[in-house]
Structure 1
Amino acid sequence: MRPARAARLAPVALALAAGLLQAWSVAWPWGLELAPWLRRGEPAGWLQVASLAAAVALLARSPDARALLLRALVFATAWLAGVFAWLFTSMHVYGGMAAPLAATAVLLLALFLALDYALAAWLWWRARPAAPWAAALAFAAAWTLAELARGVLWTGFPWGAGGYAQVDVLGALAPWMGVYGLGALAALAAAWLALARGAAWLAGAALVLALWGWPGAGAWLHARLPQPTQPAGTLPVRLLQGAIPQDEKFDAERGIERALRWYGQALVRAAQTPSLAGGLVVAPETAIPLLPQDVPADYWAQLAAAIRQGHAAVLMGLPLGSLADGYTNSVVGWRPGAAPQDAAHAPARADYRYDKHHLVPFGEFVPPGFRWFVNLMVMPMGDFARGALPQPALEWGGQRIAPHVCYEDLFGEELAAAFREPTQAPTVLVNVSNIAWFGDGVAIDQHRGIARLRALELGRPMLRATNTGATAAIDHRGRVLAELPRGVPGELDAVVQGRQGLTPYARWAARWGLAPVAAAALLLWALALAAGGRRRMGP
């Protein structure tokens, strides 16, 4: 290869490598560990900052706009494709799509979403201030706006946002600024490492090393920041994980029969367990993979009787509706004494019901013009109706328990809508999921990290009941209290502390959504450009 050609390709190769490291920083996917800085399945905040710093350096040294756009697109596409590579599993293994088409679909989705970051990088490169501090601040602002665009436009797909890698380092700040604020701080640190010089660089590097190199930094921050929420009593819980293989889940002779038997027995046993008195039992999303009217009436009779005479309330995920009325992806609940006598209509007359609000494109609704894409797959899909936002919580055991379904916990601003009225705000959050569509891989770890960040933002414990993992109890500080091994049937018992009072994030996100983050980023962008001085174009 000619030296000139190699010199042009080397930055692109480095951008590709940096993008993959950025993806892996959200949840380290490899068995090669360097504890406590690299642990399989856990976020690596230092790696996220380091890989983004490498990308900023490459962008800043771009000789022209064409080179800059190529580097930005390669970095962002590698990052995003690496984060949600598990979509290949859902489309190819379970959806029946040919492997080349499934891989192409993942890359095209990543490339499309990467356009937000390429635009942000170009705007920053064109307007970059001369002063390194201002250039770093402008980059953090532009990058945050790109993160927001990805999380909002086209129904939003914020999976793998940079802030999720920071849950163990900067998580104590999440109750104030949320995941996008954490991502902005990490972007600022990365840009400073890439752009500063001399003594200023040494000072910044020392601060970065102190925060991201010291394993106790996260705990140190938590100990020094005030707690914005207060205890609201305890709740004993049992979380169910049936571990029905995804390729059997909707098979009448294997998965459906197994789900009915396993969850039926587990729910009856749990509802009647004295140690769970005043507590909660949770079964995952589509625990029963049938419409209630397609389940034998005596099944509901046994379950309703056990709950009516039992000690614990029950939440269970299942689809509801009919062809005439439409369908919902729902969570139904019963409290002892309130389960209906008319067992044949037990789910329809549940004591509590939550309908999923934020539906998954292609999985739960088909975007206009994409029916041809859905027809390439054989996985069950549908057009579900959306639930309202917000919906009331289940009141039980002295707690207000707010469920949501799987993908919805990516949208902290939507969960925050339930906190608009402080006296009715949830005290416990519950996520029911089935991400067995994506295999036994890093998607499970990434989703656990998302749940930990939501618990921190809103100052509430998060209970997760899933089909194959991660079934876990998480406290209001984002710490995993207990977790079941993935991929095996199990019942997880824990006691969580409900919380009352609002975090600053819950207050502003409940009222204004993500608008304050966008406004802050735009303000910082304007200040950086106004105070940082002009620079000549080029590297």
Structure 2
Amino acid sequence: MSEPIDSPARAGAPTAATRPADDTRRRALPAWHYLAAAALGALNTLSFAPTPHGGWLEIAIFAGFYFWLTRTTGWKSALMTGWAFGFGNFVTGVWWLYVSMHFYGGMSAPLAGAALVLFSLYLGFYPALAATVWSFCAGHASNGRAGDAPFSPTWHGAFAFASAWALGEWGRGYVFTGFPWLASGYAQVDGPLSGYAPIAGVYGVGWVLALVAALIVQALVRAWALKRRSPGGEPALSAQPRPGAPRAAAVVPAALAAALIVAGLLLPLVPWTEPANAPLDVRLLQGNIKQEMKFSDAGMQAALDEFQTLITQKPADLVVTPETAIPVLLQEMPQPFALAVRRFADSTGTAILFGALGGTITPDGHLVDVTNSLFGITPGRPGLYRYDKHHLVPFGEFVPWGFHWFVNLLNIPLGDLARGAPVQAPFLVHNQPVAADICYEDIFGEEIARSVRDNPTSPGILINSTNLAWFGDTIALDQHLQIARMRSLETGRPMLRATNTGMTAAIDAHGRVIARLPVYTVGSLDVHIEGTTGFTPYVTSGNNTVVAISLLMLAFGFAFGPGRPGRAKAERKP
């Protein structure tokens, strides 16, 4: 294992050879170091949609981030560097939350801005945690003897960075019901590492991304060390590889990084799933109902009139509406609308999946167990199919304990909704099982994989019904479409999206958008789609693969890394 790269010599400063064993002083990093990390995080937002092929840009940015981490000298500076990078990424990547809080929620601009900053600081905690764990596994944080020498890019460091990063993102998608938006793997949907998605999911793609970036830095640092050899043959940097295989120290990590990229480009050729059942002609509806009027009396009537027209416009195998397209309780649905839709379904053989509110009215007239639901009409059959949303949105569909004061600052119809079961039966359309999910449920890949894996009748097509009007015409629409594409890659299933304002789109089983409607328009998207059967490795194992590998790698790093106290003492012996 090579020694850390020494910092520039300073007059009177102790060297690694002369520094007393108990000297634990750290070199203080300048403020601009953390500002640069935040700027790098902000730049990483450009890796995600709508940037085309942003995955290549993301590899370069992550290499820069990892190199910046190697400039740190202890776990505290590593933590702050990771936090700055994460904050820069999230405050620019999810700024559209400000739109929902201020323009639609009625919160004052200063409070909405403050809420966005605080939320971004919270999200930045996970990259900070990953950087801290990395510093203990890959550097000298665990023995406290690093002095003013920064970390060195090593094999331990590369695998520890990949593992810590993946676990940090997995934790962000799990803690407090999870918010895995902007998980690094999403930017690879059109990038060179998308082929790993069916194997290990979005967090596995992030693991490979972090490893490739770290290996690139390791190779470049070693190559630079070779170039800086002194005329007498002695290394000019202490990171210079030991004699015996100096060039291999640069070539091997570069070759491995290249091999991982080539594998990522070739893996999409593997047929993880295969077509099943007859193709369906599907109409995806986009109502473009203004959010500010959706739940007013006039808005409700306008929505009913518009969707009655859109649904009955022409027949198809399946017609899908956006989330709560019919903004009323099912029991309160106007009879003329219900009869018109039912007659159309029965007379044309068209199955209909529409969004509305579910609930139970008690004998004494109280409404309980309200749900955000999708209801399905099967032609020629009485009764309704029902899917109730399981993963509810904090502050939108339930109020976390202790945060009612925050909700009181908003002018948004909120409530504590009831949850549906984690796995619910699919909707059968001409013997083609279709799995529904609502709103941002499709950002939780593990839950989508479970609905495919654990369902007695495994669905061949995925459908997402959502309403992103809360966020205006912002990058949130493009980002959500990119997320849906990742779900197709992970499961090997086509994904259909019916949205209120956009992006209404059809995605094939390879994650490619085959058709979509312009945003903020009224219309229907007619698509011919075929379901698939079979399980990808990710559907079979979920996130267990990347979590297990990451934990093993980190355990190895803690036990045998260059920062282990026993190893450090041995290296200090003459």
Q: Normalising by structure 1, what TM-score?
A: 0.87
2:204 maps to 1:181? yes
1:103 maps to 113
1:357 to 366, 371, 390: 390
Is this contact kept in 2: 1:192–1:201, CA < 8 A?
Answer: no
1:335 maps to 378
2:282 maps to 1:259? no
2:239 maps to 1:239? no
1:249 maps to 294
2:468 maps to 1:447? no
Instruction: Measure how far apart 1:251 and its partner are.
Output: 2.4
1:164 to 175, 180, 186: 186
2:168 maps to 146
**Relative to structure 2, which stretch is displaced further, 527-536 or 180-189?**
527-536
1:467 maps to 500
Alignment partners' CA distance in 1, 2:500 and 2:273: 33
Taking a change above 3 Å as real, the CA distance of residues 131 and 110 of structure 1, as seen in their structure-2 partners, is closer
Alignment partners' CA distance in 2, 1:203 and 1:44: 26
SS at match of 2:367: coil
Instruction: Measure how far apart 1:415 and its partner are.
Output: 1.5
Alignment partners' CA distance in 2, 1:297 and 1:328: 21
1:227 maps to 272
2:214 maps to 191
Q: 1:367-406 alignment to 2 at 5 Å? A: 367-406=400-439
1:23 maps to 45
Deviations 1:448-507 (A, max 9, x none): 011000011111110000001110010110010100001101110011111011111111
Instruction: Measure how far apart 1:51 and its partner are.
Output: 1.6
2:122 maps to 112
Instruction: Measure how far apart 1:256 and its partner are.
Output: 1.9
Alignment partners' CA distance in 1, 2:268 and 2:253: 22
1:450 maps to amino acid: I
Instruction: Measure how far apart 1:308 and its partner are.
Output: 1.8
Taking a change above 3 Å as real, the CA distance of residues 281 and 393 of structure 1, as seen in their structure-2 partners, is same
Instruction: Measure how far apart 1:531 and its partner are.
Output: 5.4
2:326 to 273, 288, 304: 288
Q: 1:476-515 alignment to 2 at 5 Å? A: 476-509=509-542, 514-515=543-544
Instruction: Measure how far apart 1:295 and its partner are.
Output: 3.3
1:433 to 466, 470, 484: 466
SS at match of 2:293: coil
1:161 maps to amino acid: A
What 5-or-longer segments of structure 1 have no aligned partner?
A: 29-38, 341-348
Q: 1:271-286 alignment to 2 at 5 Å? A: 273=315, 276=316, 279-286=317-324
Question: Displaced runs of 4+ in structure 1, greater than 6 A?
Answer: 209-212
2:207 maps to amino acid: A
Is this contact kept in 2: 1:21–1:47, CA < 8 A?
Answer: no
2:347 to 278, 287, 309: 309
1:85 maps to 95
2:369 maps to 326
Alignment partners' CA distance in 2, 1:47 and 1:219: 16
Instruction: Measure how far apart 1:529 and its partner are.
Output: 4.7
Is this contact kept in 2: 1:21–1:48, CA < 8 A?
Answer: no
Q: Which structure has the larger Rg?
A: 2
**Relative to structure 2, which stretch is displaced further, 231-240 or 482-491?**
231-240
Is this contact kept in 2: 1:416–1:458, CA < 8 A?
Answer: yes
Taking a change above 3 Å as real, the CA distance of residues 264 and 101 of structure 1, as seen in their structure-2 partners, is same
Instruction: Measure how far apart 1:417 and its partner are.
Output: 1.8
Deviations 1:81-107 (A, max 9, x none): 222111000000000001111111111
Taking a change above 3 Å as real, the CA distance of residues 62 and 236 of structure 1, as seen in their structure-2 partners, is same
Q: What is the identity percentage for the equivalent residue pairs of Structure 1 and Structure 2? A: 45
Alignment partners' CA distance in 1, 2:129 and 2:28: 26
Is this contact kept in 2: 1:43–1:449, CA < 8 A?
Answer: no
Taking a change above 3 Å as real, the CA distance of residues 296 and 419 of structure 1, as seen in their structure-2 partners, is closer
1:58 to 64, 68, 90: 68
SS at match of 1:269: coil
Instruction: Measure how far apart 1:296 and its partner are.
Output: 2.1
Is this contact kept in 1: 2:196–2:264, CA < 8 A?
Answer: no
1:32 maps to none
What 5-or-longer segments of structure 2 have no aligned partner?
A: 1-26, 140-151, 224-246, 570-574
How large is the Cα RMSD of the aligned pairs? 2.4
2:448 maps to 415
Alignment partners' CA distance in 2, 1:123 and 1:219: 30
SS at match of 1:460: coil
2:543 maps to 1:518? no
2:24 maps to none
Alignment partners' CA distance in 2, 1:193 and 1:516: 24
Alignment partners' CA distance in 1, 2:94 and 2:443: 14
Taking a change above 3 Å as real, the CA distance of residues 45 and 201 of structure 1, as seen in their structure-2 partners, is farther
Taking a change above 3 Å as real, the CA distance of residues 436 and 204 of structure 1, as seen in their structure-2 partners, is farther
SS at match of 2:531: strand
Is this contact kept in 2: 1:233–1:499, CA < 8 A?
Answer: no
